[in-house]
Structure 1
Amino acid sequence: MGSVKDLEILKPPSERPGIGRFHFSDRYSVFDYGEMPDLLENKGKALCLLSAHFFELLEKEGIATHYIGVVEEGKAKRLDELSEPTNVMEVKLVHVHRPERRGDGYDYSIFQSLKGNFLIPLEIIYRNSLPEGSSVFRRLKRGEISLKDLGLERMPEPGQRMERPIVDFSTKLEDVDRYLSREEARRISGMSEEEFEALVKLTLKVDEIITRETEKAGIENEDGKIEVAFDENRELMLVDALGTPDECRFSFNGIEMSKEVLRRYYRNTDWYRRIEKSKGEEEWRKIVGKPPRLPEELKKAVEEMYMSACNEIVGRKFFDTPPMKDVMRKISEFMEVYDG
């Protein structure tokens, strides 16, 4: 399936959705590299339970998803029926059609003729704030996007909390993700203007629900991404995973609770310096070589971050881990060291 979860196919998709199971692993990935050398204990279970929590909330709001249930003793159950944490989720499956690589670009013409039951080839990003160093500022400066694309009337400031969320787009099925203007996103996905506007509205609704729920745990939902498919009737349906520290940039008392602390650690390594030189080249992952292992104390703190986030957002103590405020204090101390 990918670098951080595996897919078990129970029934492949045909004209109708199939059925499969995601096995959320304890693997992690940064900088698009793929599987890293360490495992983060219980990360897979925490992500599975968090994503299930949000899928069930979204369904109550009338939003279609591919979620069937979480799996215990071989059966798909609702979250409140679980007796212990699980890392397995049962979902509906759709077709994944990959654009064809042509020279330096990709041919998306297949998406002009598809009717339904397929993954839309986009990552859809919502941004509730723009931290210093956000790609948005670089792209605005280079003219790759406009204020109008972002629904803004004036140039934003670093650290600014947006009055209205920004909806942004990137590729999903290319070797290295790249950001897209709204028009290019609509064009390569083969969507009509009406469908694309519905996609934007869906993204804003998902953002609203995740923000509402995380606020109850004292967590700020700064930005996040979703993936969407067309079902067999060409209706929008949320897929993959959402509402987790891997899909969102959460913060707690101003401390970022995501893989950012791991990225900051790696940015101080020779391995990352090789990535800066080689990323985007053919077989760049082989060129940069194997990443170093994590320091044990950092690894434990990040494991606790995932588990405490799950406990406090879902509102059930699935894991025996310190309170989030204590965990995030440790994460903050690591951030200070790596920034120094």
Structure 2
Amino acid sequence: MGSVKDLIIIESPTEKSLGRGRFVFSDRYSVFDYGEMPDHIDDKGKAICIATAYFFEKLENLGIKTHYVGLVEDDKIKTLYELKKPTNVMEFKMVRVIKPDLKDNIYDYSVFKKEKSNFLIPLEVIYRNSLPEGSSIFKRLKEGSLTLQDIGLEEMPEPGQKLEKPIVDFSTKLEVNDRYLSRKEALEISGLYESEFEKLINLTLFIDDLITEETRKINLNNEDGKVEYALDLERNIMLVDALGTLDECRFTFEGIPVSKEIARIYYRKTDWYKEIEEAKKKDRFHWKDYVSSPPQLPKQIRELISLIYKAYANELTGIEWFETSPLKDLLYRVKELI
């Protein structure tokens, strides 16, 4: 399926029917669009599965359409609170994944205007409540690919700046490399009508508020995150993939990162990261051909990230799924390391 989770197809979707599938959340992780990194983060898959199920079940109870069916334990479908132990398998309703055509290094999305329903919307939708250090916003403003007007600001932002209103941002989902899009470009490739596109934005802001509220209870700041959507058989917008996890979101605690951003911070100091930056300038489609294999994470950092994923799942759900120290104690250790 991808660099961090695998897909089991139980029943394939068709033009007129939803399918059924299972995500197997792995202990793999990815940074900078590289793909699978050389290390695995112990129990990350189970912790991610628990966290995303928590938010899916919250949203389902609030009447939001999602592709979530349940969690799998002993080959039975269960709710989060019916589980006897943590699982890394989630069952969901499948839609069709239609790919844009690539011709002469240009993607053609015209197929999405012809489709009526039951397909993955080819966007990653990003909400931003603040602009922490490392946010892509700063790089894009510097490059000129983004303007202050695009994000509703009058002055150049500073790292760590809180936003008065959240920004909804967009990137491609089905291209070789993620590519940021203007709102106009996102609407154009999405296959949505303008009214549907506005509903997608409002739904994203609602989800952002829910994640902010839930994670504030465990003293985390919801800095930014991403969600994905599909159209169901009746052309209703349906939330898909995963949400509210340490892979999909960037949280902080007293300015300390609470996500795989910890790994990104480490790798940004390496020669390997410099290779990536240069390779992407050379060839944005085949840049990986010019990059060597990444170095492994130091054991101390890898083990600490594992404990953080587990502590987040424990404290978010209020259930001790994993044996680990309190999240805030682990994050103070991060502060000492990085």
Give the letter for the 1:44 counterpart. Answer: G
The 5-angstrom pairing of residues 248-263 of structure 1 reads 248-263=249-264
2:155 match: 155
Per-residue CA distance 1:255-287 (angstroms, 9 max, x = gap): 111111111211222222211111344533232
TM-score (norm 1): 0.95
Is the 8 Å Cα contact of residues 70 and 76 (structure 1) preserved in structure 2?
yes
Mapped partners of 2:8, 2:133: distance in 1: 40
Is the 8 Å Cα contact of residues 177 and 285 (structure 2) preserved in structure 1?
no
The 5-angstrom pairing of residues 1-340 of structure 1 reads 1-14=1-14, 15-140=16-141, 142-150=143-151, 152=152, 154-155=154-155, 157-158=157-158, 159-279=160-280, 280-335=283-338
Is the 8 Å Cα contact of residues 261 and 334 (structure 1) preserved in structure 2?
no
Per-residue CA distance 1:277-311 (angstroms, 9 max, x = gap): 11344533232122111111111100001000111
> Percent same amino acid among aligned pairs?
56
Mapped partners of 1:156, 1:82: distance in 2: 48
Give the letter for the 2:233 counterpart. Answer: E
How many residues align? The count is 334
Q: CA deviation at 1:98?
A: 1.1
Q: CA deviation at 1:73?
A: 0.4
Relative distance call for 1:142 and 1:296 in structure 2 (3 A) is closer
Relative distance call for 1:276 and 1:141 in structure 2 (3 A) is closer
Q: CA deviation at 1:19?
A: 0.4
Per-residue CA distance 1:113-149 (angstroms, 9 max, x = gap): 1111100000000000012453324434555344454
Give the RMSD, CA atoms, in angstroms: 1.4
List gaps (5 residues or longer) in structure 1. 336-340
Mapped partners of 2:149, 2:62: distance in 1: 30
Q: Secondary structure of 1:54's partner?
A: helix
Mapped partners of 1:325, 1:210: distance in 2: 19
